[in-house]
Amino acid sequence: MSIVILGIESSCDDTSAAVIRDEVILSNVVANQDVHSEYGGVVPELASRTHQQNIIPVVDKAIKDAKIDIQDIDAIAFTRGPGLMGSLLVGTSFAKGFALARNLPLIEVNHLHAHVLAHFIKESNEDNTQPSFPFLCLLVSGGNSQIVVVKDYTDMEIIGKTIDDAAGEAFDKCAKIMGLPYPGGPLIDKFAKEGDSKKFTFNKPRIKDYDYSFSGLKTSFLYFLRDEIKQAPDFIEKNRNDLCASLQSTIVEILMDKLIKASNDTGIRQIALAGGVSANSGLRSEIEKHKDWETFIPKLSYTTDNAAMIAINGYYKFLKTDFTEQDVAPFARLKF
Ligand code: KG4
């Protein structure tokens, strides 16, 4: 018997719904929110209001794209946290209402576990490119930088994490310093392709074990530019590509140093990337240089926030009958 799960994701500024049959994706609809770009970051109140406008059309489209009937759905999975409270409330309330109305099991999903398990989404029954356990996952997004040992679908251990900013934040904040719009990560990646990564040198942090730190890099980038602009006001425009390339290669080096150390110490050679920053071309090419690793890099549509990863989590929890009660509330600081 096959199992059909409807997944709902609304933790930040993307409203998404997806339908999965067993591990095979049938639809994945994402509505982005352009409303934040003029503010240089996500405005929580605007995000939750936009989720309210988007949620019903997005779910409707996901069901239509999947070419299923609403009666075919066996359970509804939703992001309980971590994320923005107002945003989470919209997806959680929708999922609870849907489950109640259709008398379906409700399944809560941890957004971070979902990023890791995005690797198990199949595009067809013949798709056999999933990692096997255990594997190491570098989870890098706007809010997280973690190295996770993934032992099973529900058994994951963080062995390293950022002690301050996340890698995505470092990209976004340094982009802002250069006057680039939010989110700056993709733009830095774009300009870096035309630049010289050896032109400028920025300090790398010295942090214990597998932990990360990016706040020092951000500060040294800020002070470096402040001093250069004093000499030449058009320094950023003249050096934009080289600045982006040098900054990106420093962030990638910081991420890779700890990942290599974790792989050597644990002996785990299956390495996966997850989270928005895994879209970064510098990081992708660096990871693929390691010929003794078997690497897993998700499709771009599954790296950023999406409901397909929520639905696949829901599927594994469904198999364990790990269901949630109707009195569940979203939890903005839900732990890993
Ligand atoms: O996982 P994600 O979609 O959501 C949150 O964490 O909210 O990650 C978003 C982050 C942003 O910081 C964005 O700048 C970064 O991922 N990002 C990138 C690239 N694409 C997205 N950073 C560097 N290079 C990219 N190509």
pLDDT, mean of residues 101-125: 96
Question: By alpha-carbon position, which residue is closest to atom 10 of ligand 1?
Answer: 142
At 50, the pLDDT band (50, 70, 90 cuts) reads very high
Q: Is the pLDDT of residue 263 over 90?
A: yes
Q: Is the pLDDT of residue 37 over 80?
A: no
**Comparing 4-128+303-319 with 135-301, is the CATH topology the same?**
yes
What is the tens place of the pLDDT at every residue in 168-183?
999 999 999 999 988 8
Q: Is the pLDDT of residue 40 over 80?
A: no
Query: Quick one: which atom of ligand 1 is closest to the CA of 169?
Result: 12
How far is it, in rounded angstroms, from Cα 63 to Cα 6? 8
**HSE of 20 in the Cβ direction (CA atoms, 13 Å)?**
29
Q: Write out residues with Cβ below 6 Å of ligand 1.
A: 12, 141-143, 168, 171-172, 183-186, 189, 275-277, 279-280, 304-305
Query: Quick one: which atom of ligand 1 is closest to the CA of 142?
Result: 6
Q: Is the pLDDT of residue 156 over 90?
A: yes
Question: By alpha-carbon position, which residue is closest to atom 20 of ligand 1?
Answer: 186
Q: What letter represents residue 276's amino acid?
A: G
Q: With pLDDT > 90 as the criterion, what percentage of the chain qualifies?
A: 91
* d(CA 11, ligand 1 centre) in Å: 14
Residues 6+ apart with CB under 8 A from 180: 187, 188
Task: Match domain 135-301 to its CATH number in 3.20.20.70, 3.30.1490.20, 3.30.420.40, 3.40.50.300.
Answer: 3.30.420.40
At 166, the pLDDT band (50, 70, 90 cuts) reads very high
Rg (the chain; Cα; Å) = 20
Going by the DSSP 8-state scheme, the letter that residue 36 receives in this structure is G
Q: Is the pLDDT of residue 203 over 90?
A: no
How far is it, in rounded angstroms, from Cα 199 to Cα 255? 20
pLDDT, mean of residues 145-160: 96
Q: What is the pTM of this model?
A: 0.92
Q: Determine the angle formed by the axes of helices 185-192 and 281-288, rounding to 10 degrees.
A: 70
Question: What is the structure's pLDDT at 325?
Answer: 98
Rounded to whole angstroms, what are the CA distances from 43 to 81, 171, 182, 236, 266? Answer: 18, 19, 12, 28, 40
Q: Is the pLDDT of residue 213 over 90?
A: yes
Q: Is the pLDDT of residue 249 over 90?
A: yes
Question: What is the structure's pLDDT at 265?
Answer: 98
How far is it, in rounded angstroms, from Cα 316 to Cα 325? 17
**Nearest CA to 107 among 332, 319, 334?**
319
pLDDT, mean of residues 143-166: 95
Question: What is the structure's pLDDT at 36?
Answer: 83
* d(CA 303, ligand 1 centre) in Å: 9
* d(CA 288, ligand 1 centre) in Å: 20
Question: What is the structure's pLDDT at 39?
Answer: 81
Question: What is the structure's pLDDT at 80?
Answer: 98
pLDDT, mean of residues 54-81: 98
What is the tens place of the pLDDT at every residue in 314-330?
999 999 999 999 999 99
Q: Is the pLDDT of residue 208 over 80?
A: yes
How far is it, in rounded angstroms, from Cα 68 to Cα 150? 33
What is the tens place of the pLDDT at every residue in 232-245?
999 999 999 999 99
314 and 24 in contact (C-beta within 8 Å)? Answer: no
Question: What is the structure's pLDDT at 11?
Answer: 96
State which fold the 4-128+303-319 domain adopts: Nucleotidyltransferase; domain 5 (3.30.420)
Question: What is the structure's pLDDT at 320?
Answer: 96
At 1, the pLDDT band (50, 70, 90 cuts) reads confident
pLDDT, mean of residues 246-261: 98
Structural domain boundaries in the chain: 4-128+303-319, 135-301
Question: What is the structure's pLDDT at 169?
Answer: 93
Query: Quick one: which atom of ligand 1 is closest to the CA of 140?
Result: 1
Query: Do you know the residue count of the chain?
Result: 336
211 and 256 in contact (C-beta within 8 Å)? Answer: no
pLDDT, mean of residues 16-33: 96
**HSE of 105 in the Cβ direction (CA atoms, 13 Å)?**
17
